Structure 1
Amino acid sequence: MIKYIFNREIDRNKYDTAVKNALNTRVYACSWYLDAVADDWDVLVLEDYKAVMPLPRRKKYTLNYIYLLPWVQQLGIFSNEKISENLIKAFIKKIPGKYALVDYYFNSGNHFKSKYLTKRTNYILPLDSNLDIIIKSFNSNRRRILKKDFSNYTINKQGDREEFLGMYRQTEKNFTLSEDAVEKLQNLLNTKQDSVHIWNVYQENKLLAGLLFLKDQKRITYLLPVASAEAKKNNLPSFIVSELIKSYQNTGFILDFEGSMIEGVAGFYKSFGAEEEVYFHYKKIL
Structure 2
Amino acid sequence: MIQYIKRKDLDVEKYDACIENSIQSRIYAFSWYLDIVAENWGVLVLDDYKAVMPIPWKKKYGIKYCAQPLFSQQLGVFSIEKITESLQEQMITIVSDKFVKFSLNFNADNSLTSKNIVSMKNYILELNLPYETLFKSFSKGRKHAVKVGEKKNLSIKNTTIAALINIQNKFYNYPGFSAKKLSEISKTTLKTNNGLVLGVFKDDVLIGGGLFLKSNNRITYLFSAFIDEGRKLQAASFLIKSIIKRNENSNFILDFEGGNLPNTAIFFKGFGAKFEEYQQFTSRKFPFNLGFFNK
Do these two structures clear the TM 0.5 threshold for a shared fold by scoring above it? yes
Where structure 2 has 5 or more consecutive residues not aligned to the other structure, the ranges are: 286-295
The residue aligned with 2:175 is 177
The residue aligned with 2:290 is none
Match for 2:100: what amino acid?
A
| Higher mean C-alpha deviation, range 143-152 or range 262-271 | 143-152
| Distance (Å, rounded) in 2 between the aligned partners of 1:170 and 1:98 | 41
User: 1:20 deviation in Å?
Assistant: 0.6
Match for 1:133: what amino acid?
T
User: 1:212 deviation in Å?
Assistant: 0.8
Please state whether the residue corresponding to 1:15 is helix, strand or coil: helix
The residue aligned with 1:19 is 19
Question: Residue 93 in 1 paired to residue 93 in 2?
Answer: yes
8 Å contact 1:2–1:94 — kept in the other structure?
no
Where structure 1 has 5 or more consecutive residues not aligned to the other structure, the ranges are: none
1:211-230 equivalences in 2 (<5 Å): 211-230=210-229
8 Å contact 1:108–1:278 — kept in the other structure?
yes
| Distance (Å, rounded) in 1 between the aligned partners of 2:156 and 2:140 | 25
8 Å contact 1:122–1:277 — kept in the other structure?
yes
The residue aligned with 2:236 is 237
The residue aligned with 2:269 is 270
Match for 1:26: what amino acid?
R
Match for 1:185: what amino acid?
L
Partner deviation per Cα, 1:112-144 (whole Å, 9 max, x = no partner): 201110000100111111111111111122223
Match for 1:114: what amino acid?
S
Match for 1:244: what amino acid?
I
| Distance (Å, rounded) in 1 between the aligned partners of 2:169 and 2:192 | 23
| Distance (Å, rounded) in 2 between the aligned partners of 1:227 and 1:54 | 33
The residue aligned with 1:284 is 283
Please state whether the residue corresponding to 2:175 is helix, strand or coil: coil
Please state whether the residue corresponding to 2:138 is helix, strand or coil: coil
| Distance (Å, rounded) in 2 between the aligned partners of 1:259 and 1:145 | 19
| Distance (Å, rounded) in 1 between the aligned partners of 2:261 and 2:73 | 14
User: 1:151 deviation in Å?
Assistant: 6.3
Please state whether the residue corresponding to 1:215 is helix, strand or coil: strand
**Aligned counterpart for 1:190 among listed residues 166, 169, 187:** 187
The residue aligned with 1:102 is 102
Aligned length: 282
Question: Residue 73 in 1 paired to residue 73 in 2?
Answer: yes
The residue aligned with 1:209 is 208
Alignment TM-score, normalising by the size of structure 2: 0.91
User: 1:164 deviation in Å?
Assistant: 2.0
Q: Report sequence identity in percent.
A: 37
Question: Residue 153 in 1 paired to residue 159 in 2?
Answer: no
Please state whether the residue corresponding to 2:55 is helix, strand or coil: strand
User: 1:83 deviation in Å?
Assistant: 2.7
| Distance (Å, rounded) in 2 between the aligned partners of 1:239 and 1:67 | 34
8 Å contact 2:96–2:102 — kept in the other structure?
no
The residue aligned with 2:144 is 144
The residue aligned with 1:135 is 135
| Higher mean C-alpha deviation, range 182-191 or range 270-279 | 182-191
The residue aligned with 2:289 is none
8 Å contact 1:83–1:110 — kept in the other structure?
no
| Distance (Å, rounded) in 1 between the aligned partners of 2:96 and 2:175 | 31
Aligned CA-pair RMSD: 1.5
User: 1:11 deviation in Å?
Assistant: 0.8
| Higher mean C-alpha deviation, range 225-234 or range 80-89 | 80-89
- Give the direction of change, closer, same or farther, for the CA distance of 1:61–1:193 in structure 2 (3 Å limit): farther
The residue aligned with 1:247 is 246
User: 1:155 deviation in Å?
Assistant: 1.6
The residue aligned with 1:122 is 122
| Distance (Å, rounded) in 1 between the aligned partners of 2:79 and 2:164 | 35
| Distance (Å, rounded) in 2 between the aligned partners of 1:259 and 1:266 | 7
User: 1:80 deviation in Å?
Assistant: 2.1
User: 1:65 deviation in Å?
Assistant: 0.6
User: 1:162 deviation in Å?
Assistant: 1.7
